[in-house]
Structure formats: C-alpha cells, structure tokens
Amino acid sequence: MKKLFVVIVFTQLSIYLKCEELKYASIDILGGGIVAGIQSCFSQKPTIKSISKAFYKGCIGGAIQHSSKLLIKQSALNNNFDLVWPARICNSLGTSIIYNASQNKGLFDEFYMQFYFMYLKYDVKNNKFNTKVDIITSVNSLYMCINNNYKFNFIKSLKLNVLYFDNYEEQEIKPYVLGRAIGNSMYVVKQKFYRLDNEGNYYEIDKNLTVRHEFIHILQYEQYIPLNSISIDKLHIKYVSDYCLLNINFGLLYFINDKIFGYDNNIFEKQANYYKK
C-alpha cells in the first residue's frame, strides 16, 4: 500500500510536471528520501527495513518541500511576495517530516522551523518548545549590521522571514553580484542594472527576481538541516549542540556541486533560476 502510494506520487508528478520541473522535483523528493535514509542509520540500528521506511517517509517530506518552490514560482506570476510565508511553512513541514522519518517517529511528531536567526522546534507529542540559535545566520547578519555598506530592511524581513539587508556598494566590474543568501539571511544590491532586450533597448533588471532567487537558496539551506546530526549534533560539544545550530550541510553540498559542475551548471543555482520566474 505504501509502495503503491509512492508509485502514484511519482506517476502523477511525471504526468503533470514539465520535464525540467520533473528533474527538480525528483531531486527534492529523492533528496528527502536519501537524507532521511542516511540519517536513520545514526538514530537506530540500521536494517534494510528501517532505511527503506525512513526513505519513503523522507520522499513524502521532499515532495512537500518541493511544493514550497512551486509556490514561489506561482508568486512570480504576480511579482509579489504573498505566498512566501506559506512557502516557508511548507518547506519547514517537509523538513520536519524528514527529521521525524530519520528518527523513526510519526510524520508529525515534531515540527521544526527556521525563524530569522533562530531554529524552532515544537514537540507536538509532549507539548514542548525548544529553540536554537542559528550560528551561520547570526554571524552573517551581525557582519552586515556593523558594515556600512549594508542596511537592514525591516519590511522585507517581515515579508520573507529572512534577515534582509540592502547593499549600497557600487559595482563597476562585470560580472555583477546582484544578491547573496547565507543561512537565513540575504542581501540584494540597491544599484540599478540594465540589460539589452531583443530590440536593442535597455531595460532595468527587476530585483524581485534576485530576491526570489536568493530565497530559493534559503529554502535549500533549510532543506538539508536534518543531515545535521552527522555533523554538529554528534560532536556533543557542551551547550553548542543544545543551544546552537551549525548547518554546514547545504554549504558543503553547494561547494561540491560547484567543484564538479561549475557555477552555471550547479544544480542549486539552476533550481533557483528556474523557480524565480
């Protein structure tokens, strides 16, 4: 019955999604399964049964994570940020399912969510609330706070659940960097940039595209947090693993991807470019 469910999900996806979408959807779905499968080996004695159980539950989490990117693509149609919060909740729900699957818990036993520089956990079963400080987000935001080139944007931060900064540096050398996301923080440059259209006229690049691109990276960052028990949690450093989240997983995966395929073919970049418009 469970296998049938997975087959139905994949068949439906292959029918309804365009080829490129199917590729990105598969990466998210299988990625969720693989993360949960690997992670389950650390939380219990691994058997074929336990790994495959975590895998298929992780695939469900991955599918939910993927729907958050579809919401961002949908919001691009109206060029607004109305669907950003639903997308964030969707992504967190998917990540929570992967977390729960990897620990052999019920799909909805615990809910995890990235909230600005904090990482929240709600234990639904025991009605317990716990919070960790996201080190990468905090350090990067602190750096931008004390650097005169960046200004905190309160409204955009509220809209995106991201520590959002405007960057006032002027760039003269191509290729231009229009924005960057690190952890749950990001910046987008204020400087205006222009491109030539097919008729030879210049038009201003829409910065909302950059915001959505960077936002997809932020969703990707959250997606791979469940792999964390392999890194920081297992080190059992007093206080660090209890109160701090050090999520280097996405950065590491991004770096490996970059080294193998290069920036233009980096799968995370291609995904961000596809769902931003």
Interacting residue ranges for Zn ion, rule: CB under 5 A? 269, 272
Is the omega angle on the peptide bond into residue 175 within 30 degrees of 0, that is, cis? yes
Q: Which ranges of 79-206 does DSSP label H, i.e. alpha helix?
A: 84-102, 135-146, 154-160
Amino acid at 102: S
- Judge residue 62's burial from the number of C-beta atoms within 10 Å of its C-beta, 0-12 exposed, 13-18 middle, 19 or more buried: buried
**Contact present, 37 and 44 (Cβ < 8 Å):** no
110 or 269: whose CB is closer to Zn ion? 269
188 or 272: whose CB is closer to Zn ion? 272
Min separation Cβ 89 and Zn ion, Å: 23
Min separation Cβ 47 and Zn ion, Å: 39
For residue 111 the two structure tokens come to 């809910």
**Contact present, 61 and 79 (Cβ < 8 Å):** no
Q: Which residues contact 214 (CB under 8 A, 6 or more apart)?
A: 179, 180, 181, 186, 188, 272
Min separation Cβ 257 and Zn ion, Å: 11
- Contacts of residues 143-149 at CB distance under 8 Å and 24 or more positions apart, as own/partner, are 144/185, 144/187
71 or 272: whose CB is closer to Zn ion? 272
105 or 213: whose CB is closer to Zn ion? 213
Min separation Cβ 266 and Zn ion, Å: 8
User: Residue 78: CA atoms inside 13 Å, Cβ hemisphere, count?
Assistant: 9
Neighbour count for residue 245 (Cβ, 10 Å): 25
Min separation Cβ 29 and Zn ion, Å: 22
Min separation Cβ 183 and Zn ion, Å: 14
134 or 214: whose CB is closer to Zn ion? 214
54 or 188: whose CB is closer to Zn ion? 188
For residue 154 the two structure tokens come to 């309160």
For residue 199 the two structure tokens come to 């008729």
75 or 220: whose CB is closer to Zn ion? 220
For residue 93 the two structure tokens come to 């729900």
Min separation Cβ 66 and Zn ion, Å: 18
Min separation Cβ 230 and Zn ion, Å: 25
Of residues 116, 73, 118, 92, the one with CA closest to residue 216: 73
222 or 269: whose CB is closer to Zn ion? 269
